[in-house]
Chains A and B, each alone.
Chain A
Amino acid sequence: DTAVSQTPKYLVTQMGNDKSIKCEQNLGHDTMYWYKQDSKKFLKIMFSYNNKELIINETVPNRFSPKSPDKAHLNLHINSLELGDSAVYFCASSQDQAVRSYEQYFGPGTRLTVT
């Protein structure tokens, strides 16, 4: 039973299109995150939500918009896709973001390729 799942696993699209990536966790966690991993494997946080409330919003273009319909889901919508958006996007969750020792559980990733 997958703890953090993402769909789709692969996404190939053209520049200018709009796309969404979905994330769901069945761990009962309060906090969810989106990370971007570039071609050199560098990971950077983009957003986090706690109980549907935005907690972290890093310097990310406005074309990226997270949406959390409930605490088990955090979706990422990307408008007007650009070549530089090509990356692997990871969703993660943790029990409570305020407790620094809690681990984050990561999904399998979504590889986005913009052509």
Chain B
Amino acid sequence: GNSVTQMEGPVTLSEEAFLTINCTYTATGYPSLFWYVQYPGEGLQLLLKATKADDKGSNKGFEATYRKETTSFHLEKGSVQVSDSAVYFCALTTSNTGKLIFGQGTTLQVKP
């Protein structure tokens, strides 16, 4: 079946450090890929997305490239801020039902 695997957290970084959160997927068909972010005490919000191979999604300094050959969608940011502290979820959908399949989430803590 379809699944998403993220790197284990928590990830603790100093402000201005480089961030990578790994995400790999298994899917039948051609999935659309997403990164959602959950700030403390809030619901999820879309961070970025990509719908076909080699697409790069970007938003708020975050980027991720849809790599079909490695079935990956790693999240990167060149310089993190304290305000980026949150839980990050990689997700995919392959069907026309809107069913999102999430990875287990990666907690990021950025220290000043």
Contact = CB atoms under 8 A, between A and B. Distances in A.
Contacts of A45: 99-100
B51 to A, nearest CB: 5
A66 interface: no
A104 B102 contact: no
A39 to B, nearest CB: 12
B44 interface: yes
B96 A101 contact: no
Interface stretch (B11-19, B68-76, B77-85, B87-95): B87-95
B35 to A, nearest CB: 11
A49 B56 CA distance: 31
B98 A97 contact: yes
Contacts, number: 69
Interface band, chain A: 20 to 34
Interface stretch (A11-19, A75-83, A106-114): A106-114
A108 B107 CA distance: 18
Contact of A43 (B42, B89, B96, B107): B89
A97 B44 contact: no
A22 B91 CA distance: 25
Interface string A26-43: 000001010000001111
A110 B56 CA distance: 33
Contact of B46 (A55, A98, A104, A109): A104
A67 interface: no
B28 interface: no
Contact of A33 (B34, B96, B98, B102): B98
List 6 A-B pairs, minimum CB-CB distance, nearest first. A97-B98, A106-B43, A103-B46, A98-B96, A100-B32, A41-B105
17 contacts: A41-B38, A41-B104, A42-B104, A42-B105, A43-B89, A43-B102, A48-B97, A56-B98, A94-B98, A97-B96, A97-B98, A100-B32, A102-B98, A103-B49, A104-B98, A104-B100, A106-B44
